[in-house]
Chains A and B, each alone.
Chain A
């Protein structure tokens, strides 16, 4: 995290807007919103210095529910938009919010390159293993046998493993959270924001409407049994064999973030013309 260090005495409520979410009752994303505001309060960040950037999906509606600056962009491109914002405004704390469709399918390419680029931002994917907003189509994390109207009998295609992809692509911080545990999620989010570079936090966030089976997740999640590692090899092995329900910080790297020098007076514009003078 870079940005202002002035700490206010903050309450989570200071970071909530008055807007009523459009989410279904019981949607996991309510808890993710709660974790956001708790993490911001924990860090004591002035809300005007936080930018929450998202794409399209139920999960991507989150920016306007905070009292921060927000950008609800087009489907799948939030990471790119956030990259442009952060390199030109390194003083801001940039949070990117996405869903498994937004972030892993249409935005998949940007995910790889955001990890690789390692700009200081925190990427939160609310993974419900479904396209919620478009009413229940499979995403890249949906189980192959999961039956939908679009894919009767299931896709038959194995889901991809976002945390492994993140590690292989160079993410500097990798964690998994469960929306049903907002305090733990807030702690991990605060840690992710503090950590320099590209931090990736996957939050298992049930879609109670199109994936009622995900209500069982609260029984399935468990704290990761081994402590976080900075060893990419170890992390790779753990993440490859992980069943998707280990919760906690799983990897913390130490690559320096990309932050090109910016601002300053620079040379006179007439200097640039010298290229063209005979």
Chain B
């Protein structure tokens, strides 16, 4: 069989089996060798321990989505694996390595026609002093993926260097034993060699990327209330903000977190908080305050299954409605969505820039899949989007905080500036910030806040628009990667497909969207919701072709490139 440009592997094990560590090491080994990769954890409901699987896709090109099917599945054990077995798709091409003492593979795997090879990983581990089954699995995977054992040893030395020689020796012995055990196992999938001479590789999660993007964009204050799957953003920011002269404050709840960042930003410091659906719900009232008082803030919502507590550890795109429409009153604000782990950096940085430039709250809709996946990527380019709000200078008498300036953006006085004293207010106010219930003032300020967002030139970053043809896939957020891959497969079939994925969800861009739809006769709308929130949003704001279809499903099962591809092909 010929080598392909991507390969995928899942390692399954119950708590403590070390499945996730193994996959992480494979990702590191592969990215050190120059491949790209994406590593997603899937966990059961237990806080610690319980069942876990590490899903890994390696490729010669950037990977932003999981595969339709796994080439290799290693079950260190299968205890409770049925709880998420449906997320680990197998097929007749799949090789399953199973420890016969670790229970039965779930029906999803056995009924797929996959070839099962039994290797006694636990027994082999027992024969090694301090041996662990996951190191056996690592050895097996390394051999099957074509990594040299020395390559993996070098990585282990780097990773476990501090853990003492006996731990290291046990790991090396385990890897070696696994390597031996896999000898003669037929595995046909092969990964092409990485493109040589590529740039520096980074390994990071979408949450980390978003946090770095925020700092690059100028954020120097964050307020934090932990919530899955957003916590890593806050945990990364805490030490790193301190390194650049900023600070993170832990809040007593999300109501406090959002108000803390409004206070800090009022004082002149670009500010951010990160949360998930339940927290965003609590923040909504104050986001409206920031809209009315024109205080720039950034709120990252790493979406998870909802409503209510929902599925905290699984991805969904169901906060679209609340992010765009959740505020009471007419409250225009920015809503943006990154499209991959790598793009989480850019989009969060851009959101910070836009929030500052437009003196508006910006909600960044990431999701659990993107936020918690670790990717091996090329170092994202430096971009020039550094937040800089219009600050009042030389204030002379009768300062008007909310003056009807051209473009709707009025210069902001910061506490400490003589003559700039004003009271920021959620009450409807005059140009001077004085409370009023007058119709004319109300209308004038509503116009101002609408116009400043609508008249701004967002440039080409507003969306990813790729490809030609008269059929288009419209999607957003982390599904962009799967849609892009589906379009590429269709192109390989000889069918040109356009991809349209808006990064800027609010304010809407009717002219740009219409231009993107030029020549499109059929439109496939792809989203991870039950109710079709994105389709309704598109219908509300844009003219869609008569032939518009939806491919939508709630979490936790991701929509794969294969499904999107099939939907396109079947429509032909």
Enumerate chain A interface residues (CB-CB to B < 8 A).
19, 46-49, 51-53, 63-64, 67-74, 76-89, 91-92, 109-110, 112-113, 260-267, 269, 271-273, 275-278
Contacts and interface: CB of A to CB of B under 8 A. Distances in A.
A72 B264 contact: no
A48 B221 contact: no
Contact of A70 (B215, B246, B423): B423
Contacts of B203: 276, 278
Interface string B415-438: 111111111111100000111000
B154 to A, nearest CB: 12
B216 A269 contact: yes
B200 interface: yes
B416 A89 contact: yes
B434 A64 contact: yes
A92 B259 contact: no
Contact of B424 (A72, A89, A92): A72
B261 interface: yes
A71 B215 contact: no
10 contacts: A47-B421, A64-B434, A69-B415, A71-B424, A78-B259, A80-B260, A84-B221, A85-B267, A265-B245, A275-B240
Nearest to B295: A71
A208 B8 CA distance: 74
A135 to B, nearest CB: 17
A92 B417 CA distance: 11
Given A68-B421, A278-B28, A272 B202 contact: no
Contacts of B208: 275-276
A226 to B, nearest CB: 33
A53 B416 contact: no
| Interface residue range, chain B | 35 or more
Given A110-B252, A266-B244, A83 B263 contact: yes
B258 to A, nearest CB: 8
A87 B249 contact: yes
Contacts of B261: 84
Which of A52, A110, A264, A278 gathers the greatest number of chain B CB atoms within 10 Å? A278
Nearest to B209: A276
Nearest to B435: A64
Given A80-B259, A269-B215, A92 B267 contact: yes
B243 interface: yes
A122 B416 CA distance: 18
Contact of B202 (A69, A263, A273): A273
B418 A266 contact: no
B243 A63 contact: no
Interface in B257-310: 257, 259-269, 271, 285-286, 289, 293
Contacts of A72: 423-427, 435
B192 interface: no
A92 B264 CA distance: 12
A251 B136 CA distance: 65
B168 interface: no
Contacts of B271: 84, 88
B152 to A, nearest CB: 15
B215 A53 contact: no
Contacts of A76: 255
The 5 closest A-B pairs by CB, nearest first: A70-B423, A84-B263, A84-B260, A81-B263, A85-B263
Given A49-B416, A72-B423, A110-B256, 12 more contacts: A72-B427, A83-B263, A84-B259, A84-B265, A85-B266, A85-B267, A87-B264, A88-B271, A262-B247, A269-B244, A277-B200, A278-B201
Interface in B391-419: 413, 415-419
